[in-house]
Structure formats: structure tokens, C-alpha cells
Structure 1
Amino acid sequence: MRNIYITLIGLLFIIAFLPSCYKDDGNYDYTEVNGIEIDTSGFYINSSYYTVYPGDTIALSPSIEYEHPENLSYSWVLVPFPYEAEVVGNATEWPAPDTIAHTLDLDWIVDVDPGGYRYYLEVKDTVTGLSKQIYPSYINYLNVATAGSFYALMCLSEHEGQTDLGVYYTRLALIFSGDTDPQYYSNKYGHMIPGKPTLLGYGSEGYYYTFTDQGGLRLDKNDFLTMESFDELFYTVPQSNVQDYIDQKSQELLINDGKLHVLNNNLSNDRKFSSAIAGDYKAFPYISSKDKYSDAGNSLCTLFDENSKSFVRYFSQGNNIVKYGAASSEAYVDPNNLPNIPLAILTYDYSKTCAIVKDEEGIIKAYLYNFLSEDDSDVSGNGSRSIIDLSNCENIDQATMFYSGPSATAFHYATSDAIYTFSITSGANTATKIYDLPQGEEVTCIYSLPMGGFPTAGRVYWFATWNEASQDGSIVEFEIDPNSGEPSWFWGQMFGLDQPNPNVTNGFSKIKSMKVGI
């Protein structure tokens, strides 16, 4: 059983100012009170993270400076996070918090169910009745994980023509806990995965997929042991050319060589992907995202068919691909008629779709769709601004990669020497440069912390870069405003993190795909 010891270092800060004098019928009549001063300016955590497990011990030893310490009482309080009101009968009530200690020092064995929590120390002057709450660093967020849980940024990398799986830990993602290891898989098992990496996927049933140009593996999330080989993943095994994967609403969707394959986790004992879904289509490497709890739009996902230059639909447990009907005259975009095969297709604002297309005149534009619209004759994503001219965006015609975080309303693109951001919904028509690439580096992958990584979900971005001359890969970590796409040191400042924004970590191989398993 591990102990997480938190000891006190740093200077004092004043958390409450009490009245300078007051009437008291106790042991004295008038007393000068200078205030409760509590030193919390430098809690140090041995593990450096706030992910713990049932049975772990959290030990804190704050110090109090107060002229009348005999008046003080202490309560360590624990509440669920998020802390939400409950309906009791006809009334709405806030659940009573748990008190886990009545002492200044905390020595608590974690004995609560896995989940998110917040905890704090309440110091009260029993004479005046005044009190103050003290929060440990990281705004007292506590993630209690299930035994064997493994949370990190997983990095599928190419090394000497083979595939390795590295891990990256960061204090910006509170659910992460451990040490960065660029060659995690090969160090653990003594060998790499055959073939060059193509795509890393995560299934909510508790496993990762590592796809390569020679096949791939399904790996257990926690120990990364092989569960199935590529051939064992399919009823009818295709030639390996996996282009996209998503876990969605109890079904796993995979595009291989332009065809859709489906695994139905909502059907008992179904652990394999189907044969290619029928239809005369060539799927672009994009699968639309859908709220797992929403049936809006009815179809399970939307794909883009390169043959017809149009978006098409797949319905849950269906056997074929279905075309959209004619768009209404009021629609600003037509899913059946794009001028060209997109340069990129992105999910933004949770479930909307942005297709970046160079039209017949060579102008790059963003076509915005809402495929969850109840009216499938009008799937315009942003009203009259559903088509945005991007020609004023600096060097966008030289972009080598595009990315949008699913919860963001901005997308990023990389060129050979810089990274830019464009805000989709702000009304902007120009992009902003956020990072100049060092000489000789190229961006090989972009990814952001998914929504399960509260509270920094959607704000932590990782740009993987590669320097061919030095054979060195890096992870450039930003905290970013998801609406503007620009750097914003909000949670990093809140946590008191001593690192720049961006923060660069070297020593990786050539990262081709990244994923967080939540």
C-alpha cells in the first residue's frame, strides 16, 4: 500500500482577517486578534500527482500561526466533485459533506469509491465563530482511481521501422500519475510491435489498439498484454490499412482501406469487427463523433465518400451505407455536394464537423455541418457562416496537418516551420501563429486531453515533433484556450506549476498517433 506524504514548505499567507477587538464572556474581556495565518504556499507531494487508489494514505501537516490557537477547531472535509444538489421529496438539497478528520494534521486512508472529489481543511475560531477553508495545491482535486488503472498520454511511435508505445505524464492532467517513458512497451516486454505505426485507438471496454502497416494488436489497458492479434480482430480479415477508429455509443467503428467495419459491444459476446459494410463508397479517414447519450440525427455516424464527394450515413447495426436526401433551399451547406475531396475533416464543438476544402478556384474554405440536426435536410453547422473563406489565414495553403479538439471551437494547423490557430465560431477570418518550430523540426501528430480529463479537458494540447537530422522526437505541451486556440496559462497558474507554456520534452521516437484512455 502506497503512502502519499504531503509536507509543508514555503512562506505564509493570510487567509482571514478577524476583527481587531471583540467582547467575550469567557476567560478574558478584550483581546487583540491579528488573524489566522496558515502556511500552505508550497505543499509538496511525493508522487507529484493527485490520482490515488482506495487504501492509499494521504498525510498532510499544515502549520497554523495564531495568537490563540486554543480557540481553533479543525475539520478535514470531503465532497464529491462535481458537487451537485439532490432532489429529496419536493425539495432540492445539497448532500452533507463527509468529515474525514478533526485534527490539524491529516493522516487519512482513502476509503471512498472511485471517482472525483474535492477536499479541504476548515479552521474555525470557536470564540468568534469565524472560519476559513484551506485548499491543498491543485485546487484540492482528488481522483480516486480503480485498482490497476493506468492514465497517461500514450504515444505510438516509429523506431527503426518498428512500432513502440511510449507514455508521457504531465501535471496539467490531474488524472495522470507516473513517470514519462518514451519506450514504455519495449522496455516492459523486451521487443517492439512489428511494422510502422499508423493509428492508436482506445476502446471504452478497457483496451488500446496499436495499428501498424503490418497489422496491429488489441492490448489490455493496464498491463498492455496482447489480447488479440490483428487477424483475431475481424470475422473477415482485410489487408491492414487502418485509417480511423472511434468508440461510440456501445459500438466501435473502424475505417480500413476506405471501408467501414463495426464491432457491437452492445451485443453479447461480440468481440470482432464485421466484414466491410456494403456500399459503393470509399471512406475518407474520418468518422463523425456523436454524443453517447443522444439519438439526435438517428444515424450512428457520418462518413465522407471520396467517390461521390459527399457525406453518407451509417445506422446502428445496419448492413450498408445510406446517402443523405436532398438539402432544403434554406440550407447553407449541402452534404451531397462538396467541390473537392477535403484536405482534412475535423470534429469540433463536441459533435459538429468541419471539412477543410480547396474549391475549384483554389480557395481554401471551411464547410461546417451539424449532423446531429433533427432536420436532416438542413445540417448547416453555423447558420449563414457555415462556409468560411480561409484564404486570409497565413500559410494555410502550406499546411501539413490539421487538428481540432472535440470540445474546442478552434482548429490548429501546422506548416513546415510554425503552428497556427483559427477560431471557427468567433467571426475571425485570419489565423494566429502560436509557435515557431525549431529549425529542422516537423509536426507529426496533434492531440488534446479528452473530456474525461476534468478539469483541464480540452485545454491541454500536445504537438509531437520530429527532427530527422538529430533523430529526436519531442512533445510540445500547451495549455490553450479552446475557443481561441491560443495559449492560456489558467489552470497551470491555478495549480502553481513551475513550467513554461509551452513546455518541451525531448527524447521520444517519431510519434505518429497519441491517445488518452478515458
Structure 2
Amino acid sequence: MSYKTIFIKRLLQLIGVCGALMATLAACKRDLGNYNYSAVNAITITTDTVNADRLMVINNDSLVVKQGDTLKVNVLLSQTKESGDLSFSWLVTQKNSSNGNPGLYVIGNTRQLTARVLLLPGLYNLVVKATDNTTGVSYYKIFSLNVSTSPWGNEGWLVLQQQANGSDLSVITTRDGATRGSIYNNVYFLANGHKLPFGTNKVNVLSYNSSVGSQKVSFFYPGGGLQVRSYDFSDSSTNDNWFVVNSAPNFQVNGVVSGGNYEYLINNNQLYNRVISSVTIKNPPVLFGAPYLGSWTLSPYVMLANSTAGYAYTLYDQTNKCFLLYSANANTLLPNIADVPNKHLAAFAGQASDLLPAASGFDMNNIGRNLEYAENVLPLPASNGCLYDCFFRNDGHDSTWLYQVPTLPTGYLNNNTSGRFYLNPSNVTGINTAQKFAVPTHVVTKDKFYYVTNDVVYTCTVQTGAASTSAAAGINFPAGTKIGVMKVFKSEYLSAPATESKVLVVTTDETASGGGNKVYFFSIDINGVLNPTPVQVYTGFDKIVDITFKKGLGQ
């Protein structure tokens, strides 16, 4: 075939393609719009919390139900294009990726869910799907569903008591006293058929990261500790199964980084860590490693900064009377330098005059006093560090100071030129013998704390200058009352309730006046002032040795 013939053939093919293209374009031009494009109906799903059982519907995203009970949930819809042709489906899925979905995972197909829950106790996702049948487009809302086995297995205050033949636990099923709760006594014995060891002195509640979807409840007693299931308090493990290498138990404090996975334990004034995550819990047991040792003897207080940057703990060395900053991520001090007492942080960056008795600065490397108590003044988790009230005394226990210490996640400049307050006993009655303190987080001025002397709870207002700081009696109990535990309500809920930090819980022994053992709930106003008339009073307890709040699982 000649080149001329090939050229003519290719030219005719090209002309044919161009002709087809022009015909297509012409057809498109003649189509002047026989199509009806319309916006999709976008549906927003929220929870009807007004017309709901508030013991089940905790908030817009969290539900609680006892195994075997009927769960009722009604949703509210917001549509960009109103449609009456909607269908619904309610599904239960696993919360933890290490578990499979329930066998029966579709539990409803109406807008209002009414379904008996027969799931095993635990934390699940409840998913509602709303479908616009006109368009076939579906929208979803996911709830955290906590299935418990008993009315005392969810939210409430755990009251640890000493009894003649051991110790046991009561649960008050209230959050903040606003709603009258029930008292369930001896719930540990009901679950296990025996008492807690005699001398059990502390109950701990740890709520792990939401991806883990679990809680830990543990008890400390002389020479040991034990852990129970959070939803029914059945025995789970004892301290001889907690460590890679067991050590002599003298447990002092147990907690978890707010919003994080690192769990810390101070035992014999030494720090231990373990990581609880959706990955590690697939291969139990998850053990505490070796202690992080150095020249320090740690005070039993762990001051947190935030949940992501290094998972940093600010600690206090009671031997050398100075602060340390530890990173759980790196398992080192920050900065990671040689272990030299009183030189673990940067040198003081202020002036020498800032450290004089009449001034208010402080050198974190050289506090020179004994830490008596520490509690956060800002809510946790904090995004860029926190603030703690730290109460110090001298060796003679005849002088007390408040240091407001900003805890940081990555390192200290050590340049605090303010924040140290001498608490003059002439104005702050009984402060040098006070053993119980509590600190609210909602007071904007951060100038209030509460302390106990004899049978009185005092409110202290902190101001610059020793003569300016003063205290006034906030709550007076009957003469001879022994005040046991005092705590500000700090729920650790992801979405803080309206009463967060605005309730003071106090336990008392009023047997001297015939009143028995009690738990009081007092309200705190926006300025930190206590209302001396209790919101609620619960009675009928044995000797109370500890109390702590347990939030609802997954909230």
C-alpha cells in the first residue's frame, strides 16, 4: 500500500471522528434542560433528653441500661427538606475492636426505640440510621451504650466503710445530690460472698481512654491491693498479678492520665507505669513495669499537664524538697539530664528578690518544704498544661504555704515570680493543723480552697500579701463531729455537667452527738462560697474511710 493511500485513509478516519464529535455537541446544545436537579434532604439527628428517663438517657450521646431492662430512646430530627418518607434502623455494634459484634445486632426499626436489652454487661455502640426513602440517602447517630448488671453498677459515689469483720462498699446512686439517690449497702459482699480485707483504706476509680471503653475499680489495704469489675464489683485480680516483678506493696496513689492511656501507681514512694489501650488489652495481663528510680523519694501526688504532649507528670521529691517533670512517653525526666538533686529543672530565671519571704516567687528546684496536699485548680484534661494548688509546711509543722504551680507538658522555664502565699494562722484559723483540703475548678479567680479544722469546714480566700489572705467558717457540724473525707465533685465526664465542681461532698462521724455516720452534699456558688444548708444528707453507714465518684462508663 502506497504512502498516499495510507494518508487518505487516516484522513477519512479523522474526519469521521470529528463529525461524530460535532454531532454529539450539537445534540447537547439542543438539550436545553430536561433534568430536575434538587438538593438532597440532609438530616441531623439529636436525642430527646427532655421527655426521657434521665437514668437511661444521660446526655445527647450516652445511654445506660440494666441488663434485661427495656431501653427507650426517642430522637429528634432536623431536615433541610421535609420528608415524611423516612425509615429507621437501630443497630448495636462492638465498642472495642478486639470484640465481635453481638449476635443480634438489629434491635429496632422505628423512630422511637423500645427494646429489651439482653446484651452481656459492657460498653457498646448503639447506632440509629435514618434513611430518606425518596433519595435513598442515610444519616447516622452513634450513642455510647453502657449495659450494667445492677442498679449500683453505673454512676454514683462509692462509700468505703470499716466494719467489725472486714470492710465493704456502699453505693449512693446520685451524681451531685440534685436528685435523691438510693443507697445500696455491702455490694462487695453481695458480689463475692466475703468482705474486703480488714483495714482497706482507699477506693480508686480509673476511667480509661474512650477507645478502650472500660474502667478500673481497685482497693488498697495494708500490704496489698485488689481490683474488681467496675459494673458489679466482682473480684478480678490481686496485686501479685499487677507487676512484671513483684515488690513489697505499700500502695499510695493510683490514677490515669486524663484522656490518655497511661496508668500510674505510686508504691513505696516510687513511680510505676503501664499502658492501657485498645491494643494492649487484647493480650492480658497488662503489667506495671519496673519503677522509675533515682535520687528522689516521691510524695503521693501526681500533677498532670495534658493528655497528649509527652503524657507528663509533675512530681515532688520529698527527700530533696523539689519538683520533677517526668514523661511517660519517653520514660525519662524532662529535660533528660543527669540525676542531680535540686537540679532536675532549669535554673531559676527570676531575681533573687523574688524568693525573699515577703515576695511571692518560687524556685521549683528548691522549695525546701514538705508537700502536704495537691489538687488541680483548672479542669482536666487541660489543653496546654494545668494549675495546681500545692500546700506546703515546714519541718516543725508550724507554718503553711500555698503554692499555685502551673504544670506544663514539655518543660519548665522555672521563672515563677508569683504564686507563693503564706497562710498566716492569725487570719487563716487552724491552717497549721488542717489535714483535709479541697479545691474547686469553676471559680474564675482561682482564689478559693476549703480545709477542715476540728468540726468546721473553712473557706479560704487567697490574696496577695500575708495579711490579705483570710478564712471564714463555711460549714459548722455538731460539736465532737469527726470530719472524714472532703471532696469537690469532679466528674471526669467528657462533657462536664452543669454542677461540675459546684458540689462539696463531706463524710462525717457524728456518733459523739448521736448522729451516726453520714455523707453530705453541699452546693458551691459561682464565686466559690459554700451554702451551709446541705442539698442532701445520707445516713446509716458504718465508719467511712474513703469516698470517690464513679462516672458512667463510656461518658
- TM-score bin (small chain): 0.5 to 0.7
In 2, are the aligned partners of 1:339 and 1:357 still within 8 Å (CA)? no
Provide the residue aligned with 1:16 in structure 2.
Answer: none
Distance (Å, rounded) in 2 between the aligned partners of 1:242 and 1:48: 35
CA positional deviation for 1:341? 0.7
1:193 aligns with 2:215: no
Encode CA deviations 1:387-410: one digit per residue, 9 max, x unaligned: 354432122123131122456633
1:445 aligns with 2:485: yes
Provide the residue aligned with 1:134 in structure 2.
Answer: none
Provide the residue aligned with 1:454 in structure 2.
Answer: 497
1:328 aligns with 2:349: yes
CA positional deviation for 1:202? 1.9
Q: How many residues align?
A: 401
Paired residue type of 2:389: C
Encode CA deviations 1:101-143: one digit per residue, 9 max, x unaligned: xxxxxx94368x979xxxxxxxxxxxxxxxxxxxxxxxxxxx9
CA positional deviation for 1:468? 5.4
Q: Which runs of 5+ in 2 are unaligned?
A: 1-49, 88-110, 116-123, 127-142, 209-213, 335-343, 355-360, 380-385
1:364 aligns with 2:400: yes
1:152 aligns with 2:121: no
Mean CA deviation greater in 182-191 or 245-254: 182-191
In 1, are the aligned partners of 2:442 and 2:502 still within 8 Å (CA)? no
Paired residue type of 2:454: S
1:505 aligns with 2:542: no
Provide the residue aligned with 2:413 in structure 1.
Answer: 377
Paired residue type of 1:437: F
Distance (Å, rounded) in 1 between the aligned partners of 2:406 and 2:546: 26
- TM-score, L = length of structure 1: 0.67
- Tell me which of 374, 384, 405 is aligned to 1:345: 374
Alignment of 1:59-458 (within 5 A): 78=76, 108-109=112-113, 145-148=145-148, 150-160=154-164, 162-170=166-174, 172=176, 179-203=182-206, 204=208, 205-248=214-257, 249-266=260-277, 268=280, 269=283, 271-293=286-308, 295=309, 298=310, 300-319=312-331, 323-329=344-350, 332-350=361-379, 351-359=386-394, 362-372=398-408, 376-378=412-414, 380=416, 384-391=418-425, 392-405=427-440, 409=446, 410-424=448-462, 429-447=469-487, 448-452=489-493, 454-458=497-501
CA positional deviation for 1:286? 0.4
Identity percentage over the alignment?
Answer: 19
Encode CA deviations 1:22-69: one digit per residue, 9 max, x unaligned: xxxxxxxxxxxxxxxxxxxxx99998786454784659xxxxxxxxxx
Distance (Å, rounded) in 1 between the aligned partners of 2:249 and 2:169: 19
Provide the residue aligned with 1:473 in structure 2.
Answer: 517
In 2, are the aligned partners of 1:279 and 1:321 still within 8 Å (CA)? no
Encode CA deviations 1:73-122: one digit per residue, 9 max, x unaligned: xxx87389xxxxxxxxxxxx9999x999xxxxxx94368x979xxxxxxx
In 1, are the aligned partners of 2:313 and 2:326 still within 8 Å (CA)? yes
Counterpart of 1:343 in 2: which secondary structure? strand
Counterpart of 1:185 in 2: which secondary structure? helix
* Structure 1 residues 154 and 405: alpha-carbon distance in aligned structure 2, compared to 1, 3 A threshold: farther
The structure number with the bigger radius of gyration is 2
Counterpart of 2:347 in 1: which secondary structure? coil
Encode CA deviations 1:125-184: one digit per residue, 9 max, x unaligned: xxxxxxxxxxxxxxxxxx97422261111122222262212101226368x996212422
* Structure 1 residues 405 and 211: alpha-carbon distance in aligned structure 2, compared to 1, 3 A threshold: farther
Encode CA deviations 1:275-324: one digit per residue, 9 max, x unaligned: 2211121111100023224x2xx462011111100111221145555622
Runs (4 or more) in structure 1 with deviation over 6 Å come to 43-49, 93-96, 425-428
The RMSD of aligned alpha carbons is 4.1
Distance (Å, rounded) in 2 between the aligned partners of 1:49 and 1:510: 32
- Tell me which of 440, 463, 480 is aligned to 2:506: 463
Distance (Å, rounded) in 1 between the aligned partners of 2:435 and 2:81: 51
In 2, are the aligned partners of 1:356 and 1:365 still within 8 Å (CA)? yes
Encode CA deviations 1:463-494: one digit per residue, 9 max, x unaligned: 11124556932101112136525239xxxxxx
Counterpart of 1:313 in 2: which secondary structure? strand
Q: Which runs of 5+ in 1 are unaligned?
A: 1-42, 60-75, 81-92, 101-106, 116-142, 489-499
- TM-score, L = length of structure 2: 0.62
Encode CA deviations 1:232-282: one digit per residue, 9 max, x unaligned: 112222222211121112111111121111111246246112222111211
Paired residue type of 1:433: A
Distance (Å, rounded) in 2 between the aligned partners of 1:341 and 1:171: 34
In 2, are the aligned partners of 1:284 and 1:306 still within 8 Å (CA)? yes
Mean CA deviation greater in 219-228 or 263-272: 263-272
- Tell me which of 504, 518, 530 is aligned to 1:486: 530
Mean CA deviation greater in 465-474 or 205-214: 465-474
Encode CA deviations 1:366-418: one digit per residue, 9 max, x unaligned: 111112176612363xx634435443212212313112245663321111110
CA positional deviation for 1:419? 0.5
* Structure 1 residues 247 and 231: alpha-carbon distance in aligned structure 2, compared to 1, 3 A threshold: same
Distance (Å, rounded) in 1 between the aligned partners of 2:288 and 2:526: 34
* Structure 1 residues 389 and 467: alpha-carbon distance in aligned structure 2, compared to 1, 3 A threshold: closer
